[in-house]
Chain A
Amino acid sequence: MAEDIKVIVFKLGTEEYGIEVEKVQTIERMMPITRVPKTYSFIKGVINLRGVVIPVIDLRGRFSIEEAEHTDQTRIIIVNVNEMEVGFIVDSANDVIDLNRDIIDTPPDVVGGIKAKYLDGVAKIGEDRLLIMLNLSEVLNKGEIVQLESLEG
């Protein structure tokens, strides 16, 4: 048996995603965001998190999913990966579950419109819930963004 990990579960549209709890610093309600000009469109700006300025990314935008209006369920998940602090805007975040690494399968090529390289795997929980584990370093990989931009441009 592999070890159990704790996972923060959040939603984008109807899909459920997971981030290991160690990488999550805090989860915040929506707060005023200061726009940063001349940067990628999915970077929504910066927030003041208790005196620290942190950039915020719209995860929908990052995965090229259509952006949605913010509701009172919208949350900013602050993650800390490779000494980078970044906030992710997600539709909602309301669950923490224990997951055994054994039940995480390698992801198919594309899940919910997201390329496999952004994913660590897919875990089936319960009868009909599917949890998509994100590969955060890849999501925050800037080299990749540059490529993405040049393709779009």
Chain B
Amino acid sequence: MDMNQYLSMFIDESNDHLQSLNESMMGLEANPEDLSIVQVIFRSAHTLKGMAATMGFEDLASLTHQMENVLDLVRNNKLRMQDFIFDTLFKSIDALESMVEDITGGGEGKADVSAIVTSLQAIVRGEVPAAAGGAAAEVTAAAAGNATDAQVFLDEFQYSVLEQSLQEGHQVLYVDVAIRKDCQLKAVRAYMVFDLLERSGEVVKSFPSVQDIEQEKFDYGFSLYYITQKDASEIQKMILNLSEIDTVTAVALDQESLRQMGQESVAATAEAPATAPAPEAAPAASNASPAASAHGKEESKAAPARAGGAPSPSRTIRVDIERLDVLMNLFSELLIDRVRLEQLASEVQNGDLTETVEHMGRVSGDLQNIVMKLRMVPVDTVFNRFPRMVRDLAKSLDKKVDLIVTGAETELDRTVIDEIGDPLVHLLRNAVDHGVESIADRVAAGKPETGTVHLRAFHSGNHVFIEIEEDGRGIYPKKILGSAVKKGAITQEQANAMSDDEAYQLLFAPGFSTAEVISDVSGRGVGLDVVKAKISSLGGNVTIYSTPGKGTNFSVQLPLTLSIIAAMLVRLGSEKYAIPLSSIVETGIVKQSQIRTIHGNRMLEFRGSHIPLVSLSKIFSIPDYDESTEEETEIVVVRKGERLVALAVQDFIGQNEIVIKNLGKYLPDVQGISGATILGDGQVALIIDPNAFIK
């Protein structure tokens, strides 16, 4: 059956559930006695299992089933959470994650989970020998003995629902409905049956699953478990009253037959090899009661319906990212037209037209805000996997580390979010691995045993800052410089002249950071250049603040968005270029006489200091403009961090919102150009990357 249309939904929801599993497990670890958390975990695991089984990912379903067994014992107070149980459960979640990843990548979600399954079973067995008489134990023990095709019988959640209903005096019915073969819209008939039943009770499980039935993916009959107050005969009559229904059998089940059924179906599936095709399980159960054999058949086809807590009503909808991109692109087109219209209106000088265009400008400004907001995602989507990662890492390193996350609700453009994960993982690993000292060292240094890593995100101006700060050993600039000189990366004189900040920047130099000497001495090392490169490519920046002995802070500065920016348009001869407004300090005019040549470099006095003057016309070899022939030159002062550079241009055209487009895959990276944009007149203008001129 074709499940492709559900696949993306399955992947999304699985990821959500895995995330919630991870979070809840972390919560439970901090608070092992809180059984309400166990309930949450159980529900997530259960939903995941149902979805996986429906989609036919059996390994996924069977592993979650084993987790459920353990969790069930915990929530019934039959098992106390202990470290090794946590570890095993965490391992299971990891395995689930990798399976879902595999599915995302187009795989089958198959994985060898036998080791984890065995240890989960061991946990279940080890803790329940005394309770062997109880119904729950029966089920769990049975489950443990029948690990690999777990989804082949009523899972014990559904089982216990049925059992409980019986205890509370409800009727549990097994209903088999056959629709007439000449029925045209069988799905509709089936829907009517369900509708009718739901009015006077609850359908616990159906085969095929409700989704399949809605898709008409069934023959002419279906069966279901049903809890109600009414009699079997009454229900039978009710259903038969619907047109085009052929036959209905409703069998009332009692405690005994229910339990027997549970065992029978277990026996049936246990006899069948783990990979046995579904029908083989059915005959094995045929000596049981009719209901049980039907049950065996039903269950062996493995399609548990979604049970458990209904999803809470949500005010959000999922939208395919591609649609958002399309929306963004369409909006960019509109923006270009708007600029064009504004141009035309100012030429035509018609009052009504100008007014309309201005109004359109305001509306499209609002529209732009909303479109941009749609693409904003809270950094939490990246941050949420970090607590778990830090926990594992600290454990493996035998350190105690608290990760304190603040500002997880801070929003960033999706494109930035997608890219920022890996660099942050890197920085966090560094912080835990190299920053925070071992317990002994910390105690010796008079610090608390547990190290603290702060992960902060906050807005500031047009940027978002993400800081990773630990209270570890800090970085000693002298040691970096020493190693750099030893490595021949810089000379002794250069080293002497370097400020602490410049020394820290050396850590980001390619090749430098991977040098063993450095990582031994400074304790920092792996691939910081990669981190830096990635963040720079996003238009961001990394700064290090460190106090030796007290700790280090890696501060990552990121632009809010990547796709629409405010820019200054300038003219160079016949060509137009855009300079991002965010990096412009000011614009001005200088006389030739103010330009001095120092060491062959043209410098300019600017607010009490000398800054280099860069000739864009030379760098871009512009054919029809050369500023050195002019008496006065327009300049744009741009900055990168603390450094300033003046770019010589011919004319300022004005300030504009521009839509950033890339130059296409074919063009190699052009130095000094970060992209292109389309102007109001349809021409392409290149966007200058001011960082390229500042070394």
Partners in one complex: yes
- Counting CB contacts under 8 A, is A19 at the interface? no
- Counting CB contacts under 8 A, is B287 at the interface? no
Total count of chain B residues near the partner, CB < 8 A = 28
Q: How far is the CA of A32 from the CA of B574 in the complex (A)?
A: 12
Q: A48-B683, A51-B678, A142-B668 given as contacts; is B663 within 8 A of A36 (CB)? A: yes
Q: How far is the CA of A34 from the CA of B681 in the complex (A)?
A: 13
B683 near A53 with CB under 8 A, answer no
A38 near B672 with CB under 8 A, answer yes
- Counting CB contacts under 8 A, is B333 at the interface? yes
Q: A34-B676, A38-B671, A51-B333 given as contacts; is B665 within 8 A of A83 (CB)? A: yes
A35 near B336 with CB under 8 A, answer no
Q: How far is the CA of A140 from the CA of B666 in the complex (A)?
A: 8
A37 near B685 with CB under 8 A, answer no
Scoring A residues 134 to 148 as 1 if CB is less than 8 Å from chain B, else 0, what string do you get?
000000101000000
A46 near B684 with CB under 8 A, answer yes
Q: How far is the CA of A47 from the CA of B683 in the complex (A)?
A: 7
- Counting CB contacts under 8 A, is A55 at the interface? yes
B574 (CB) vs chain A CBs: closest residue: A35
Q: How far is the CA of A54 from the CA of B670 in the complex (A)?
A: 15
- Counting CB contacts under 8 A, is B630 at the interface? no
- Counting CB contacts under 8 A, is B598 at the interface? no
B678 near A38 with CB under 8 A, answer no
Scoring A residues 57 to 101 as 1 if CB is less than 8 Å from chain B, else 0, what string do you get?
100000000000000000000000001111000000000000000
The secondary-structure label for the interface of chain A is strand
Give the contacting residue for A37; candidates B329, B661, B670, B684; CB below 8 A.
B670
**Chain B residue contacts of A57, Cβ below 8 A:** 666
Give the contacting residue for A55; candidates B329, B667, B673, B683; CB below 8 A.
B667
Interface core residue of B664, B670, B676 (most chain A CB under 10 Å) = B664
Q: How far is the CA of A52 from the CA of B330 in the complex (A)?
A: 11
- Counting CB contacts under 8 A, is A39 at the interface? yes
Q: How far is the CA of A21 from the CA of B246 in the complex (A)?
A: 57
**Chain B residue contacts of A48, Cβ below 8 A:** 678, 682-684
Q: How far is the CA of A32 from the CA of B684 in the complex (A)?
A: 9
**What is the distance, in angstroms, from B509's C-beta to the closest C-beta of chain A?**
24
Q: How far is the CA of A39 from the CA of B671 in the complex (A)?
A: 9
Q: A34-B676, A35-B575, A38-B671 given as contacts; is B666 within 8 A of A53 (CB)? A: no
B678 near A37 with CB under 8 A, answer no
- Counting CB contacts under 8 A, is A43 at the interface? yes
Q: A37-B619, A37-B620 given as contacts; is B662 within 8 A of A53 (CB)? A: yes
B672 near A46 with CB under 8 A, answer no
B670 near A86 with CB under 8 A, answer no
**What is the distance, in angstroms, from B421's C-beta to the closest C-beta of chain A?**
24
**What is the distance, in angstroms, from A45's C-beta to the closest C-beta of chain B?**
8
Q: How far is the CA of A85 from the CA of B667 in the complex (A)?
A: 10
B677 (CB) vs chain A CBs: closest residue: A53
**Chain B residue contacts of A46, Cβ below 8 A:** 663-664, 667, 676, 684, 686
B664 near A54 with CB under 8 A, answer yes
- Counting CB contacts under 8 A, is B332 at the interface? yes
Give the contacting residue for A39; candidates B332, B619, B668, B683; CB below 8 A.
B668
B672 (CB) vs chain A CBs: closest residue: A38
- Counting CB contacts under 8 A, is B349 at the interface? no
A84 near B683 with CB under 8 A, answer no
Q: A53-B662, A55-B666 given as contacts; is B683 within 8 A of A38 (CB)? A: no
**Chain A residue contacts of B678, Cβ below 8 A:** 48, 51, 53
A84 near B664 with CB under 8 A, answer yes
Give the contacting residue for A34; candidates B622, B666, B686; CB below 8 A.
B686
**Chain A residue contacts of B575, Cβ below 8 A:** 34-35
Total count of chain A residues near the partner, CB < 8 A = 24
**Chain B residue contacts of A34, Cβ below 8 A:** 575, 676, 683-686
Q: How far is the CA of A36 from the CA of B282 in the complex (A)?
A: 71
**What is the distance, in angstroms, from A126's C-beta to the closest C-beta of chain B?**
34
**What is the distance, in angstroms, from A53's C-beta to the closest C-beta of chain B?**
4
- Counting CB contacts under 8 A, is B621 at the interface? yes
**Chain A residue contacts of B663, Cβ below 8 A:** 36, 46, 53, 55
Which residues of B638-688 have CB atoms within 8 Å of chain A's CB atoms?
661-668, 670-673, 676, 678, 682-686
Which residues of B329-354 have CB atoms within 8 Å of chain A's CB atoms?
329, 332-333, 336
Q: How far is the CA of A47 from the CA of B332 in the complex (A)?
A: 16
**What is the distance, in angstroms, from B337's C-beta to the closest C-beta of chain A?**
10
**Chain B residue contacts of A86, Cβ below 8 A:** 664, 666
A32 near B683 with CB under 8 A, answer yes
**Chain B residue contacts of A142, Cβ below 8 A:** 666, 668
A53 near B665 with CB under 8 A, answer no
Q: How far is the CA of A33 from the CA of B685 in the complex (A)?
A: 10
**Chain B residue contacts of A54, Cβ below 8 A:** 664
**Chain B residue contacts of A43, Cβ below 8 A:** 667
B671 near A85 with CB under 8 A, answer no
Scoring B residues 617 to 641 as 1 if CB is less than 8 Å from chain A, else 0, what string do you get?
0011110000000000000000000
**What is the distance, in angstroms, from B681's C-beta to the closest C-beta of chain A?**
9
A140 (CB) vs chain B CBs: closest residue: B666
Q: How far is the CA of A83 from the CA of B666 in the complex (A)?
A: 9
**Chain A residue contacts of B667, Cβ below 8 A:** 36, 39, 43, 46, 55
**What is the distance, in angstroms, from A106's C-beta to the closest C-beta of chain B?**
28
**What is the distance, in angstroms, from B186's C-beta to the closest C-beta of chain A?**
43
B670 near A36 with CB under 8 A, answer yes
Q: How far is the CA of A34 from the CA of B683 in the complex (A)?
A: 7
B664 (CB) vs chain A CBs: closest residue: A55
Give the contacting residue for B336; candidates A32, A51, A85; CB below 8 A.
A51
**What is the distance, in angstroms, from A52's C-beta to the closest C-beta of chain B?**
7
A146 (CB) vs chain B CBs: closest residue: B668
Q: List 27 A-B contacts (CB under 8 A).
A: A34-B575, A34-B683, A34-B684, A34-B685, A37-B619, A37-B621, A37-B670, A37-B673, A38-B670, A39-B668, A39-B670, A46-B676, A46-B684, A47-B684, A48-B682, A48-B683, A51-B332, A51-B678, A53-B663, A53-B676, A55-B667, A83-B665, A84-B664, A84-B665, A86-B664, A86-B666, A142-B666
**CB-based closest 7 A-B pairs:** A37-B620, A34-B684, A53-B661, A84-B665, A53-B676, A55-B664, A84-B666
Interface residue ranges, B against A (CB under 8 Å): 329, 332-333, 336, 575, 619-622, 661-668, 670-673, 676, 678, 682-686
Apart from A39-B670, A54-B664, 16 more pairs, CB < 8 Å: A32-B682, A32-B683, A34-B575, A34-B685, A34-B686, A36-B673, A37-B620, A37-B686, A38-B621, A38-B672, A51-B333, A53-B663, A53-B678, A55-B666, A55-B667, A83-B665
